[in-house]
Structures are given as C-alpha cells and as structure tokens.
C-alpha cells in the first residue's frame, strides 16, 4: 500500500449571499481537528465564496471533515498544485444542465411517466444496466408521433440555473465545452446551442414515417462513451487531465467524473456523490465557477 497523498489542498467554501468569516473559522477548526494545518487564503467574493489552504491531510479526509462541520455549504477540495481554471468542461445534460429527465417527460405524453421514471431513477442510482434500461424505456415509446419531441422540449425542458453562466464564462476564458448525454440528440442539440456548448454527443431516437420506432441508434452513449469523449477531447485540445472538469448526477457519469482532473457531482445520486471529488448539494452551477476562483465580476 502506498503512502497517503498529503499534497497541499485548496478548499473553497460557497454559499452565495450567506457565507461568513465564522464559516471560515468553523472550517479551520474542523481541518485542525482532523490533523491538518489550515490557513485562510482569501475571499473570492465577500459573503459568497472564499478559499482556504490546508496541508497534512488527504483530500478525502479534508472533504469528510468539512462536510460534517458545515452541512449547509457547498465545499470543493482540490489539489493546490492543479490548474485552477480548467481548460475543458464535459457535462451531463439531464438533471445537470437541464432540470428534468427528458425521457420521463416524453413518456408523460404517452401516459407512461411513472413507469418510465422508476426505471430512470434505478438506472441513475446504478442499479440497472444503462443500455438495457434505455432500450426498455424507449421501446415503450414505439409509435409516438415524432412531433411530440419538439412539443416536449418546448413545454418541459428548462435550463438549470447557472448553466449558461458556467459554460459561457469558461468558453470566454478559452475552455473547450462539451455536452455528453445518455439522452437524445433531439433535446441535446438545441440545449447545447442555447447554453453555449462547443460540441454535443447524445443518443439518437430512430424515427420512421414520422413516428418513433421504439429503438435507439448504435453505438449507445453510455458511461464508457462519456469517459472516452473526455479523454479524446483532452487529447485533441492538448489539455492535461489535471485541467479538465466533469460534472454529472448519475451512475453513468461516474467514469468521466473519476477521470477528470476535477470531478463534481451536481445534486447527485449517492454513488455519484461518493465517487466525485466534490458534491454540490445546495447552490447552482455557478458553484463550479467558484471552484475555479472566478469572481462574480468575471462571469459571462
């Protein structure tokens, strides 16, 4: 067994409009009690976000101590020697960049939302094989008028708060942004364009004579494909993995979250939250900008 990694850590505390110097004191005390040596670094924006440093602790131990001491805050722990502002963002769509699960909403137009949503939830928790679960849900939509897809997108799909700000700020600062979804291109392409992603990869619902066939084109965008897209994009853009950021909420996001330099679980299922470097549980997607040291004045 190797020695624990006690690289100096950068800790960011976020609670927009509700963060106090007292929270920094609580954080410092918790890190000290866990065996670390903390130091206040700086406010990113007073009352919103601040940075601490800590030495002598592994990242997982620091995160556990802080989450126990400050359960109402979003806390990001990362290695201080990694690039702070990431040069590549890869993001999940459903329940991450938008507020719903598209297949569940589409199923609602067929009166099947409860049945489909139960399978979606189990798949996102990692209890079902993703591809098999996707095929089973899409099969239930066989015969649906393809025009319902546009109706569903217009009526049901809403952007997650902070999505445009996150993506456009990173892009304005030179980052490549990539939306990779286990959902469907009919939703993902318009969503990617509205948010400002440079590229998008998703599954394609097969349509014949203006009706859904009940099948999905191959190959499937699944957990392995998401990770592969991250690695390929990093190589294509000459980006070291330490300068990549991945965000998602479900079990099929875990491989890309684990592979990225900074993997963040966003209002996520327990398995994804445990696998990530940080779990955002309270704030919106601008927490990911705070993690990179962006002040509000820098936001797009």
Nearest CA among 246, 258, 233 for reference residue 97: 246
User: Which one from 48, 51, 74, 92 is the annotated catalytic residue?
Assistant: 92
Residues of the chain under the 50 pLDDT cut: 1-3
Nearest CA among 177, 164, 173 for reference residue 88: 177
d(CA 221, CA 255): 13
What integer pLDDT is reported at residue 48 of this predicted model? 98
- In degrees, rounded to 5, the angle at the alpha carbon of residue 202 between the alpha carbons of residues 200 and 205 is 135
Q: Note if 94 is an active site residue.
A: yes
User: Which one from 48, 51, 74, 94 is the annotated catalytic residue?
Assistant: 94
What integer pLDDT is reported at residue 4 of this predicted model? 60
d(CA 81, CA 264): 18
What integer pLDDT is reported at residue 41 of this predicted model? 87
**Domain 1-81 fold:** Alpha-Beta Plaits (3.30.70)
163 and 203 Cβ atoms separated by less than 8 Å: no
d(CA 14, CA 35): 23
Domain boundaries, the chain: 1-81
């Amino acid at each position: 067994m190797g020695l624990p990694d006690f690289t100096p850590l950068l800790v960011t505390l976020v609670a927009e409009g509700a963060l106090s110097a007292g929270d920094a004191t609580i954080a410092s005390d918790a890190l000290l009690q866990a065996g670390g040596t903390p130091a206040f670094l700086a406010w990113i924006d007073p009352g919103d976000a601040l940075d601490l440093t800590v030495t002598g602790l592994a990242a997982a131990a620091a995160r556990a101590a802080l989450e126990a001491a400050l359960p109402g805050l979003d806390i990001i722990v990362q290695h201080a020697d990694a690039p702070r502002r990431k040069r590549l963002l890869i993001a999940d769509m459903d329940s991450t960049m938008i507020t719903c699960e598209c297949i569940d909403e589409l199923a609602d137009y067929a009166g099947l939302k409860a049945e489909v949503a139960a399978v979606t939830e189990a798949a996102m928790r990692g209890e079902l094989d993703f591809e098999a679960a996707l095929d089973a849900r899409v099969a239930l939509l066989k015969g649906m008028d393809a025009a319902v897809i546009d109706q569903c997108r217009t009526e049901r799909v809403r952007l997650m708060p902070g999505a445009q700000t996150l993506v456009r700020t990173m892009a304005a600062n030179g980052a490549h942004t990539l939306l990779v979804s286990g959902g469907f291109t009919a939703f993902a392409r318009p969503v990617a364009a509205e948010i400002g992603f440079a590229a998008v990869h998703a599954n394609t619902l097969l349509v014949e004579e203006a009706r859904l066939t009940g099948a999905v084109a191959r190959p499937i965008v699944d957990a392995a494909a998401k990770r592969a897209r991250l690695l390929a994009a990093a190589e294509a853009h000459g980006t070291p993995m330490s300068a990549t950021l991945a965000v998602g909420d479900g079990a099929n996001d875990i491989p890309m979250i684990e592979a990225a330099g900074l993997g963040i679980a966003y209002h996520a299922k327990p398995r994804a939250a445990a696998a990530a470097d940080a779990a955002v549980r309270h704030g919106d997607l601008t927490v990911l900008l705070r993690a990179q040291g962006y002040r509000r004045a820098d936001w797009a």
